[in-house]
């Protein structure tokens, strides 16, 4: 009896078969021939296949593989001494040498006994953005295939994502492993713009999103390592500032700026002390040729012919520094004055060392401050008896004291008195009596208003009186009549198209709603206008069928009047299938005389309405059903 074990190729399931061979009684061995023997499986009786065993050399440990079977092994039982090859992996001692499968030295280096190599790409990892990550697959495989298409054992991950490798060893074993590579959010170092200055000490600051900083000036270490800012103390010259910063994840960012320190020149502009002069011309000198004067001129000198404040300014455009000085100049003119002297007959008057005793007109120059002359025009009047004419007005019941007398009524007085110069003066006095006066005022006010008359405020209707002094100082009665005008209300209702505007009293409205405006009516009082605006919508269907009754065309439906209009319909590939500039023209689903396929089409409507220059756009989809 010979037991045959193996796998059926049709369903890859194992089997055990029993093969009975005739026994040679002479040497108690199996009789083999080239004939085909029928093998019936023990555990699967429905499988039967012929087997051909070699008779040429019964000692050979070979067996002809049965049809539709693989990995067939033979084990003898009973008195049969037929020997077979040891089959690896079936858990049987096929050649009866006492060793099973991998215990047999002949299989220790075979694929069924060799362990499958280990494949481990490691843990998922996060690296800095723009940093290359080297992915290493374990050795011991004959081929590698990454999901990036690469076939090397070691590849570089240039982008974030999932990386997977499929490795096959020399025995055909396939092992798969994957690793996910992610990137930290990149932090950009910003030092700002290139800097130009005339200061020998300059601070360069960075953004404060890093944990470590290293500074370089002209490729040399400089300043405070780890500090987020750098103080550059250098002489005039050009410097390259480099900062290498790393964040908490160890990611590095570098930025470079150029620093130019210009030589600073100090300018001393001194216009001197403020000037007060009688000269007609003052010349100022600032000491430098490129001076800008406050009157708009330029140059080192300025001729001043008028009083004022003058500024000399020099702008150092390289260092952005302005040097200036200010001076106040006052140019005094010769003063001209008129003087009148009244003298009595036989007398004289002294004026700045000059004596005048004859009536007439004279001129006299008198030196003053800053050597500016004052020119006096003198009139000398000889007054033997000066005449004085005066008029006085008093209110009824009042009195006035004149020439040591109280006057209570209208009168005309004449009397003689000595004047201030000691000459006699003849006075002619007229006294007139004034009456009390009456006046009235009328005001028409709006609701909530008030009026102020002589510091009194009136905010209610009525007739009021005030007593006060008139323009000549007498009592005056003022009557004030206050009346109020009532406010008015009006209503405005209108309808506008979507996107249009309605203008009322200079105010534009483009949305539906209720509004209020306060205007002035014919009486000048507030008039409240209530405005109600409705917006006419634009209806666009989302489905239509050119083959069914009813909804069989596509367009925009509205009662609005368009100033401009364009309807465009596109298929799913973006091809234009319909276009019209006529709001009344609709699409019936036909292009080039052919009804298009059922499906979803995209549309774009561009339009403008009356009183609106803005172009409006509507985008959407329309489903065509057949």
For residue 1, the model assigns a pLDDT of: 40
DSSP tag of 471: T
For residue 554, the model assigns a pLDDT of: 92
Residue 6 pLDDT class (50, 70, 90 cuts): very low
Q: 311-315, 443-447, 586-590: which has the minimum mean pLDDT?
A: 443-447
Span 146-153, average pLDDT: 94
Between residues 550 and 65, the one the model is more confident about: 550
pLDDT at 21 over 60: no
Other CB atoms within 10 Å distance of the CB of residue 145: 15
Span 312-321, average pLDDT: 84
- Strand blocks (E) in 249-407: 252-261, 275-277, 282-285, 292-293, 301-304, 308-316, 321-331, 335-343, 349-351, 354-356, 360-367, 373-382, 385-395, 400-401, 406-407
Among 454, 443, 450, CA closest to 480? 443
- The structure tokens 């081929």 sit at 143
Q: 43-52, 395-404, 449-458: which has the minimum mean pLDDT?
A: 43-52
* pTM of the predicted model as reported, rounded to 2 decimal places: 0.34
pLDDT at 10 over 50: no
The length of the chain, given as a count of residues: 626
pLDDT at 147 over 90: yes
pLDDT at 66 over 50: no
Report in angstroms the alpha-carbon separations of 31 from 2, 3, 57, 62: 12, 15, 11, 15
475-485 and 437-446 as β-strands: parallel, antiparallel, unpaired? parallel
548 and 571 belong to one structural domain: yes
Q: Which two tokens stand for residue 228?
A: 């987020």
616-625 per-position pLDDT tens digit: 889 999 999 9
559 and 610 belong to one structural domain: yes
Query: Is residue 189 in some structural domain?
Result: no
pLDDT at 320 over 90: no
Between residues 75 and 437, the one the model is more confident about: 437
502-504 and 2-8 as β-strands: parallel, antiparallel, unpaired? unpaired
For residue 151, the model assigns a pLDDT of: 94
For residue 612, the model assigns a pLDDT of: 60
421-431 per-position pLDDT tens digit: 567 677 888 98
Span 209-232, average pLDDT: 86
For residue 52, the model assigns a pLDDT of: 42
Q: Cα(271)–Cα(540) distance, rounded to whole angstroms?
A: 80
451 and 530 belong to one structural domain: no
What single string gives the DSSP state of each residue in 306-335? S-EEEEEEEEETTTTEEEEEEEEEEEPPPE
395 and 477 belong to one structural domain: no
Contact 244, 254 (CB under 8 A): yes
413 and 469 belong to one structural domain: no
403 and 451 belong to one structural domain: no
Query: Is residue 190 in some structural domain?
Result: no
Contact 556, 583 (CB under 8 A): yes
SS3 (DSSP) at 371: helix
pLDDT at 260 over 80: yes
280-297 per-position pLDDT tens digit: 889 999 989 889 999 999
pLDDT at 255 over 60: yes
Give residues with Cβ within 8 angstroms of 423, minimum separation 6: 342, 343, 344, 345, 383, 384, 385, 386
For residue 73, the model assigns a pLDDT of: 42
Q: Which residues on neighbouring strands pair with residue 405, listed in sequence order?
A: none
Contact 540, 558 (CB under 8 A): no
Q: Which residues on neighbouring strands pair with residue 14, listed in sequence order?
A: 7
C-alpha of 406 from chain center: 87
For residue 610, the model assigns a pLDDT of: 67
C-alpha of 226 from chain center: 32
- The structure tokens 């004959």 sit at 142
Other CB atoms within 10 Å distance of the CB of residue 355: 8
For residue 70, the model assigns a pLDDT of: 39
Query: Is residue 112 in some structural domain?
Result: no
Q: What is the total count of domains within the chain?
A: 9
For residue 370, the model assigns a pLDDT of: 54
Q: In this structure, what is the dihedral angle of CA atoms 445, 448, 452, 456, given to the nearest 10 degrees? A: 120
Mean pLDDT of all residues belonging to the chain: 79
For residue 331, the model assigns a pLDDT of: 83
Among 202, 317, 334, CA closest to 279? 334
- Left if phi > 0, otherwise alpha if psi is -120 to 50, otherwise beta: which for 577? alpha
Range of the domain at 455: 437-485
Query: Is residue 119 in some structural domain?
Result: no
451 and 469 belong to one structural domain: yes
160-193 per-position pLDDT tens digit: 899 999 999 888 889 999 999 988 877 888 888 9
Span 393-405, average pLDDT: 82
Residue 420 pLDDT class (50, 70, 90 cuts): low
103 and 8 belong to one structural domain: yes
Residue 93 pLDDT class (50, 70, 90 cuts): low
548 and 615 belong to one structural domain: yes
Residue 473 pLDDT class (50, 70, 90 cuts): low
168 and 244 belong to one structural domain: no
pLDDT at 470 over 50: yes
For residue 293, the model assigns a pLDDT of: 93
Query: Is residue 117 in some structural domain?
Result: no
238-253 per-position pLDDT tens digit: 999 999 988 888 888 8
CA angle 270/276/280 to nearest 5° reads 100
Span 544-573, average pLDDT: 87
**540, exposed or middle or buried, with CB in 10 Å at 0-12, 13-18, 19+?**
middle
Q: Cα(177)–Cα(210) distance, rounded to whole angstroms?
A: 36
Contact 482, 453 (CB under 8 A): no
**352, exposed or middle or buried, with CB in 10 Å at 0-12, 13-18, 19+?**
exposed
Q: Cα(607)–Cα(560) distance, rounded to whole angstroms?
A: 11
For residue 613, the model assigns a pLDDT of: 61
Query: Is residue 46 in some structural domain?
Result: yes
Q: Which residues on neighbouring strands pair with residue 496, listed in sequence order?
A: 535
114-137 per-position pLDDT tens digit: 788 889 999 998 888 777 889 999
Span 311-337, average pLDDT: 85
Task: Calculate what percentage of the chain has a pLDDT beyond 70.
Answer: 80
Other CB atoms within 10 Å distance of the CB of residue 480: 19
CATH number, domain containing residue 229: 2.60.40.10
252-261 and 308-316 as β-strands: parallel, antiparallel, unpaired? unpaired
Query: Is residue 114 in some structural domain?
Result: no
Query: Is residue 474 in some structural domain?
Result: yes
CA angle 73/79/84 to nearest 5° reads 20
Between residues 186 and 401, the one the model is more confident about: 401
Residue 261 pLDDT class (50, 70, 90 cuts): confident
195-197 and 252-261 as β-strands: parallel, antiparallel, unpaired? parallel
470 and 496 belong to one structural domain: no
Q: Cα(196)–Cα(70) distance, rounded to whole angstroms?
A: 86
For residue 43, the model assigns a pLDDT of: 43
pLDDT at 256 over 90: yes
SS3 (DSSP) at 106: helix
Q: In this structure, what is the dihedral angle of CA atoms 465, 471, 473, 477, given to the nearest 10 degrees? A: -20
Q: Cα(485)–Cα(514) distance, rounded to whole angstroms?
A: 27
75 and 6 belong to one structural domain: yes
Give residues with Cβ within 8 angstroms of 327, minimum separation 6: 271, 272, 273, 274, 275, 284, 309, 310, 312
343-384 per-position pLDDT tens digit: 777 778 888 888 888 889 998 887 765 567 778 888 888 765
Residue 85 pLDDT class (50, 70, 90 cuts): low
């Amino acid at each position: 009896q010979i037991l045959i074990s193996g796998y059926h190729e049709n369903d890859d399931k194992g089997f055990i078969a029993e093969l009975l061979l005739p026994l040679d009684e002479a040497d108690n061995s199996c009789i083999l021939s080239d004939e085909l023997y029928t093998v019936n499986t023990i555990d699967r009786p429905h499988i039967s296949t012929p087997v051909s065993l070699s008779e040429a050399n019964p000692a050979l440990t070979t067996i002809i593989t049965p049809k539709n079977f693989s990995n067939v092994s033979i084990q003898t039982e009973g008195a049969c001494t037929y020997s077979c090859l040891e089959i690896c992996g079936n858990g049987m001692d096929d050649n009866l040498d006492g060793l099973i499968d991998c215990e047999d030295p002949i299989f220790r280096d075979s694929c069924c006994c060799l362990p499958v190599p280990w494949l481990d790409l490691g843990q998922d990892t996060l690296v800095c953005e723009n940093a290359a990550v080297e992915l290493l697959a374990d050795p011991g495989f004959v081929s590698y295939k990454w999901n990036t298409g690469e076939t090397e054992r070691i590849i570089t991950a240039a982008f974030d994502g999932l990386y997977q490798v499929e490795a096959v060893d020399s025995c055909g074993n396939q092992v798969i492993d994957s690793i996910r590579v992610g990137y930290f959010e990149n932090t950009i170092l910003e030092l700002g713009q290139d800097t130009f200055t005339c200061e020998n000490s300059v601070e360069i600051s960075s953004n404060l999103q890093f944990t470590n900083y290293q500074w370089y000036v002209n490729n040399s270490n400089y300043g405070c390592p780890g500090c987020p800012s750098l103080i550059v103390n250098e002489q005039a010259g050009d410097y390259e500032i480099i900062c290498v910063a790393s964040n908490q994840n160890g990611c590095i960012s570098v930025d470079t700026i150029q620093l130019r320190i210009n030589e600073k020149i100090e300018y001393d502009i001194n216009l001197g002390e403020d000037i007060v002069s009688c000269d007609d011309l003052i010349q100022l000198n600032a000491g430098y040729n490129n001076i800008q004067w406050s009157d708009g001129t330029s140059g080192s000198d300025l001729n001043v012919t008028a009083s004022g404040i003058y500024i000399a300014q020099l702008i150092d455009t390289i260092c952005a520094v302005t040097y200036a000085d200010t001076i106040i100049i006052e140019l005094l003119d010769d003063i001209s004055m008129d003087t009148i002297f009244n003298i009595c007959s036989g007398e004289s008057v002294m004026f700045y060392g000059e004596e005048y005793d004859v009536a007439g007109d004279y001129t006299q120059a008198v030196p003053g401050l800053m050597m500016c002359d004052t020119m006096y025009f003198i009139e000398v009047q000889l007054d033997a008896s000066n005449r004085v004419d005066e008029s006085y007005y008093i209110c009824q019941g009042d009195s006035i004291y004149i020439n040591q007398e109280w006057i209570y009524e209208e009168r005309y007085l004449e009397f003689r008195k000595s004047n201030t110069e000691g000459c006699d003066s003849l006075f002619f006095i007229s006294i007139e009596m004034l009456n009390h006066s009456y006046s009235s005022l009328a005001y028409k006010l709006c609701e909530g208003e008030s009026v102020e008359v002589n510091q009194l405020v009136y905010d209610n209707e009525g007739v009021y009186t005030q007593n006060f002094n008139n323009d000549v100082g007498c009592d005056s009665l003022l009557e004030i009549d206050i009346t109020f005008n009532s406010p008015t209300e009006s209503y405005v209702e209108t309808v506008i198209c979507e996107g249009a505007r309605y203008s009322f009293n200079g105010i534009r409205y483009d949305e539906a709603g209720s509004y209020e405006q306060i205007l002035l009516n014919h009486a000048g009082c507030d008039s409240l206008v209530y405005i109600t605006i409705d917006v006419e919508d634009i209806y666009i269907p989302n489905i239509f069928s050119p083959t069914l009754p009813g909804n069989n065309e596509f367009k925009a439906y509205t009662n609005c009047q368009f100033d401009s209009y364009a309807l465009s319909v596109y298929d799913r590939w973006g091809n234009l299938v319909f276009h019209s500039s006529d709001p009344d023209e609709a699409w019936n689903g036909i292009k080039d005389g052919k009804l298009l396929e059922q499906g979803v089409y995209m549309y774009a409507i561009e339009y403008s309405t009356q009183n609106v220059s803005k172009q409006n756009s509507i985008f959407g989809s329309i489903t065509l059903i057949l």
